[in-house]
Amino acid sequence: MALSAKGGSLRVPVWTLPWLGGALGAGAGLLLWLLRPVLPEGAAAAVALGLMTSATLAAWERGLAPGRGVLACGVVLAAFGLRWLAFQNLPANPVAGAAAAGALARTVYVAAAWITRPAREGAEFARSLNSAGALAALAAGLAVTAWLPLRLAWTFCAAAILLTFAARKLGESRGGLTGRQLSAAGLLTETLLWMVASCRSCMW
């Protein structure tokens, strides 16, 4: 079982989340790679990222939105804009980096829920977790990084670990993690890893 941005449930095994995230990322990265020769960089990134966001019904972006209405729409658009800036700067072959970022983002989502006391709508997802499923999700997230250069893979994993414990610290300070906060952790992880992969001077 997996938690939606607003606390509902999706009937998929928790260990499949990193694989689903990796597939979404790989698909978006492949589309970006295919569109770059025929569209301007920004337009290619907007199309690829837009289709990926549509495939998830903007679940994580909507999780950041405070309720509904104009303000909520503004938050969703702002989140999409920041992610677009990071996504369009992915390296010449963006497939592996986008896949690993998508997988590790879902891994952080699961790991943060596993090690942190839930609050409100986060409780349903946390109750559905068990050690076997959580560990399988962690292993899946790590497995997808195998296609990255070694230094980049280590950096991705280190960033994911730091963000997981940052989410736990947030949960401890606020009486538990909500579904929205788990969504924010996943969204932030994926966007940050795109930025890491985009570093042109890091010699990955």
Domain residue limits, the chain: 2-197
pLDDT tens column, 47-61: 999 999 888 877 777
* pLDDT tens digits, 100-151: 999 999 999 999 989 887 776 655 676 678 889 899 999 999 999 999 999 9
pLDDT one-digit tens code per residue, 152-180: 999 999 999 999 999 999 888 888 888 88
What is the percentage of the chain residues whose pLDDT exceeds 90? 52
Q: Give the per-residue pLDDT at 11.
A: 63
Per-residue model confidence (pLDDT) at position 65: 64
The answer to pTM > 0.95 is no
**Is 134 within 8 Å of 14 (Cβ atoms)?**
yes
Average pLDDT over residues 63-72: 66
Confidence class for position 192, pLDDT limits 50, 70, 90: very high
CA distance 84 to 67: 23
| Residue-wise DSSP of the chain | -EE-TTS-EE-S-GGGHHHHHHHHHHHHHHHHHHHTTTS-HHHHHHHHHHHHHHHTTTHHHHHHS-SSSHHHHHHHHHHHHHHHHHHTT--SS-HHHHHHHHHHHHHHHHHHHHHS-B-TTHHHHHHH--HHHHHHHHHHHHHHGGGS-HHHHHHHHHHHHHHHHHHHHHHHHTTSB-HHHHHHHHHHHHHHHHHHHT-TTS--
Confidence of residue 182 (pLDDT cuts 50, 70, 90): confident
- pLDDT > 70: what percent of the chain? 85
pLDDT for 79 = 81
Name the average pLDDT for the chain: 85
